[in-house]
């Protein structure tokens, strides 16, 4: 058919990205896009991520991602696990997930992100989710219902 609009990607519960900042990524922290897609080969030693470092594997058009460093920023999702620079990592985009907190939160409270990729009570920026429980210990995890769809 003429002039069809075919989406590049459909809404996904999980996506894969390549960690670009030298600091790497910490699991259960918020992720953001850090640069344009990359066609750079994945570094040697990343076979644990199910990838090889040679040109025979298709690793083009991979999202460049990093841990959120801007308070109140729009986030892509939550890192599923720790990953060093140049590693492939899974980013969770929906559901109810554990996220590390940067300040005490109360069940039912809207949350946004701080400069370390942790969730805090909403004060500025974009709401990333709702606290499903109460947690007072900074650095602990709290269950968060992600509200990223359509954002």
Whether the predicted pLDDT of 114 surpasses 90: yes
Within this chain, do residues 120 and 102 fall inside the same structural domain, yes or no?
yes
Q: How far apart are the first and last CA of the chain?
A: 30
- Domain carrying residue 118: 96-146
Within this chain, do residues 102 and 35 fall inside the same structural domain, yes or no?
no
Within this chain, do residues 70 and 28 fall inside the same structural domain, yes or no?
yes
Q: Is residue 6 part of a domain?
A: no
Q: Is residue 123 part of a domain?
A: yes
Within this chain, do residues 19 and 85 fall inside the same structural domain, yes or no?
yes
- Report the number of distinct structural domains present in the chain: 2
The model's pTM is 0.81
Within this chain, do residues 86 and 22 fall inside the same structural domain, yes or no?
yes
pLDDT band per the 50, 70, 90 thresholds, residue 2: low
């Amino acid at each position: 058919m003429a002039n069809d609009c075919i989406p590049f990607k459909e809404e996904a519960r999980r996506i894969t990205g390549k960690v670009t900042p030298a600091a790497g990524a910490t699991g259960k922290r918020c992720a953001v896009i850090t640069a344009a897609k990359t066609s750079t080969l994945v570094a040697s030693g990343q076979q644990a991520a199910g990838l090889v470092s040679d040109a025979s594997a298709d690793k083009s058009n991979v999202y460049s991602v990093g841990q959120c460093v801007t308070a109140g920023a729009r986030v892509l999702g939550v890192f599923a696990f720790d990953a060093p620079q140049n590693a492939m990592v899974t980013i969770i985009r929906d559901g109810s997930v554990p996220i590390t907190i940067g300040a005490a939160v109360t069940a039912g409270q809207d949350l946004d992100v701080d400069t370390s990729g942790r969730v805090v009570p909403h004060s500025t920026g974009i709401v990333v989710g709702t606290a499903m429980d109460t947690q007072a210990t900074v650095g602990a995890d709290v269950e968060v219902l992600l509200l990223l769809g359509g954002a």
